[in-house]
Structure 1
Amino acid sequence: MASSASDTPNAATPGNWMERNPQRSNLITGISVAIVTSLCAWVIATAAESDDAASDGKPTAVTAQDATADIDQGNDSETKGEILFSGKIKNMPEGYLLWALVKDPGANKYFIPSSPCTVEPDNTWSCGNVRVGNSKDIGKKSIVNVALVDAEGVRFIDDYQARHLQGIKDLPVSDHIKILGKIDVTRVK
């Protein structure tokens, strides 16, 4: 049996398929728009994520400039000789240590304890009991600093310790020792 034009579905209906099936046509158009919109949103989100990463695709490393420290002890503290010095650090870069530095403003010298502060996994730090002044310094105010120290700063401190210096006027602050916070402490009886 031969096929005629009338046997072919919709052969007699004029126009294209979209004109003959407007509801299905609108559904397909809507789905197509949704797919294209979703793909565009994904491309934009992917581009934004790559902008947040370094050029090598890795997250940007934390630097010394990003680090901040909070100190548990209040400013204008008092001590009979030593103060427990502690707090919390944010954004501590790898390869750095925290160290307490005690400055005697009258002599304009820094005194550096023999060991660095400890930093726990929860980012709390403690320098233990830090000596402030001596028995002749009753009523005298000192400045206790917490500093971020890189490897070169550690070598500087090791040299200071090895030479048994009685305070030092200049620290390589800008390059290797960054003071993150400080408190004033007065020596009392």
Structure 2
Amino acid sequence: MSVRTYTDLEQGTDEWLAVRCGVLTASLIGKLITKGGKVASNETSERVALDILAQRINGICDENFQTFAMQRGHEDEMEAKVLYSTHVAPVSEIGFMTNDKWGFTLGYSPDGLVGNSGLIECKSRLSGLQMATICAQAVPDEYMAQIQTGLMVSEHEWLDFISFPALGGGKMMVKRVYPDLDYQALLIKAAEVFEERISLRMT
């Protein structure tokens, strides 16, 4: 089946949560690898496996609590999309997408689509972190697993990472990212190990 899109889903709704239930998503896969670039085997990766296993068995996702920082990030994301659409390119929204070409399913909820070949991923950054990102002119490592998984799932050619100043008052940075095949190979390997771990526990 490869890429499947859910265009009518609104992110954050019960229907959106139901479609994501039991799926290894781009927002989680980074917990399956170490900072040293290895497949993780630790308490964090084990907890992800158990959470997803429970979802696949009982079909229930834990409630998603909204903190102030999460709400602020959502509002900043909307403002960032408006600025990007005005100064760079129009953005269309989509609820969720999956890809199963590896023999297992990965999921991704993009912040937006740009034409037929691009994506955007918006992050709200506190002042000091935003300044560090602008000075480095690079995407922070903590977001790369999500970004590269998004590119894999969508099969799009590029993704614009938008680093947005939290609560305004600063400059927005846009950095284009292309598929990194070596990094993606690591993610695929981590997902394979993850699925094997779940399969054993399911049995």
TM-score (norm 1): 0.23
Answer 1 or 2: which has greater strand percent: 1
Rg (Cα) greater in structure: 1
